[in-house]
Amino acid sequence: MNRIAFTLQVRPDMLDEYRRHHEAVWPEMLDALRRTGWHRYSLFLRGDGLLLGYFETPGTFQQALDGMENEEVNERWQALMAPYFEGEGKAADTQMIELDEVFHLD
């Protein structure tokens, strides 16, 4: 499994609403993530809107993104989430910045 971390920027004025959406992610979205190789997926949100995502996948980050691109539910979820992110209404999955792993304790 490959460990993937990425960042995004949530609009600071929308943090509470963004959190509320993630209290009840659609079951079909969760199924699509699992089906396309997103395992142990977590999101962490800082008070200024910095979002850190982490997941493990058998493939690459790009393969995981490509898998979700083919899921109809992802298009709906991305449209719902777009206003929460800085970046002129672009889908979050097109703005993710992958981080390089520099250390891992087994």
Contact 32, 68 (CB under 8 A): yes
| Cβ atoms < 10 Å from Cβ of 85 | 22
Contacts of 103 (CB under 8 A, 6+ apart): none
Q: Is 104 a catalytic residue?
A: no
First vs last C-alpha separation in the chain? 13
Backbone phi, then psi, for 3, in 5-degree steps? -90, 130
Catalytic option among 21, 22, 39, 104? 22
Which residues are tagged catalytic?
Answer: 22
